[in-house]
Structure 1
């Protein structure tokens, strides 16, 4: 379980194909505090630490993960949003995030406003996911509030602090992002489907 509050930006230092899997090596300040088998969210994708070496650690993304997320598009030198699993008994500053990406979206528009930046994302509504205004959404692992919700797109407003401390500062129109829709909303939607 995660909160969507990014701890730090890691840097991709090595990508190694292993059959259908991708071993991803990340340089991060948190590395000395990690242990083998620990879960870390990478752009919102929960992956298990499989190797530690100095300031670098390695995780493995399987074929399904690569097909359903933007991790397969990573390049050496790219920044990645990192978050370790939440501690029970601590404050939940974002929202409940599972680290299980539902689908990807395309960044359609970036608008600078006085004091914030508005990002608009479009996604395939055929997968049945939805947003609601003032509801929660996770974009590349970042817990955000939806400010404009339509059937196949939504917008979020990013404050300067979030812009500076996440990969949003590297995001461009046309880029692919990972989405995890609010888990409570997914359960409510599923219950409604079962009642029909």
Structure 2
């Protein structure tokens, strides 16, 4: 379980494909505190640490990424030198500063527009039809692993929806969201509470 509050931005150091894809990610974590088998969300994708090394401030960890995971997530994140938003799994007693995030990407969306307004960025993201019923104004959504609040949304004729975000300067500086540009694909995870509410609504309508 995660919160969508990013602890640092890592960068892919190496990729090797032998069956699954072994991805080595450079970071600043203390490798002594990265347990083999631990979960780390990488731009919203929950992955399991299979190796680690280096020193605090100049460390790395490795994860194995299945072909299914690569197919269902934003393709641009799976190449050498790509920047990734990193968040270790939530520990008992940690502050829940964002919202409950599972690290399971529901779909890939794409950025429609990015406009600078004051010191912040106004970002519009297109979500596919299957996610549209789960997105609501003032609700939570995870974009590339970052917990965000939906400012507004507009349903589209094809069943998809465009939702609007406000990225404040701090968030832009400490995550990869400061580099968003039109056309870029992003990992989306809907609020887990919205998922259950939609299921309950479907059951109520069927009864």
Same fold, judged at TM 0.5 (above): yes
Q: 1:190 aligns with which of 196, 199, 204?
A: 199
Tell me, yes or no, if structure 1 residue 3 matches structure 2 residue 16. Answer: no
Matched with 1:154 is 163
Tell me, yes or no, if structure 1 residue 81 matches structure 2 residue 90. Answer: no
TM-score by length of 2: 0.90
Matched with 1:177 is 186
Tell me, yes or no, if structure 1 residue 114 matches structure 2 residue 118. Answer: yes
1:142 and 1:53 map into 2 onto residues whose CA distance is: 26
1:104 and 1:31 map into 2 onto residues whose CA distance is: 31
Matched with 1:104 is 108
2:149 and 2:82 map into 1 onto residues whose CA distance is: 25
| Paired residue secondary structure (1:14) | strand
1:73 and 1:93 map into 2 onto residues whose CA distance is: 25
Structure 2: give runs of 5+ residues left out of the alignment.
156-160
Q: Which moved more, 1:146-155 or 1:44-53?
A: 146-155
Moved segments of 4+, more than 4 Å = none
Q: Which moved more, 1:170-179 or 1:159-168?
A: 170-179
Larger radius of gyration: 2
Structure 1: give runs of 5+ residues left out of the alignment.
none
Q: 2:176 aligns with which of 128, 142, 167?
A: 167
In the TM superposition, what is the alpha-carbon distance from 1:73 to its structure 2 partner? 4.5
1:38–1:48 CA contact under 8 A, matched in 2: yes
1:48–1:59 CA contact under 8 A, matched in 2: yes
Q: Which moved more, 1:26-35 or 1:106-115?
A: 26-35
Matched with 2:47 is 47
TM-score by length of 1: 0.94
Give the 3 Å change call, closer, same or farther, for CA 98–129 of structure 1 in structure 2. farther
| CA RMSD between the two structures | 1.4
2:134–2:198 CA contact under 8 A, matched in 1: no
| Paired residue secondary structure (2:110) | strand
1:182 and 1:82 map into 2 onto residues whose CA distance is: 19
Give the 3 Å change call, closer, same or farther, for CA 154–128 of structure 1 in structure 2. closer
In the TM superposition, what is the alpha-carbon distance from 1:128 to its structure 2 partner? 5.8
Tell me, yes or no, if structure 1 residue 24 matches structure 2 residue 28. Answer: no
1:104–1:179 CA contact under 8 A, matched in 2: yes
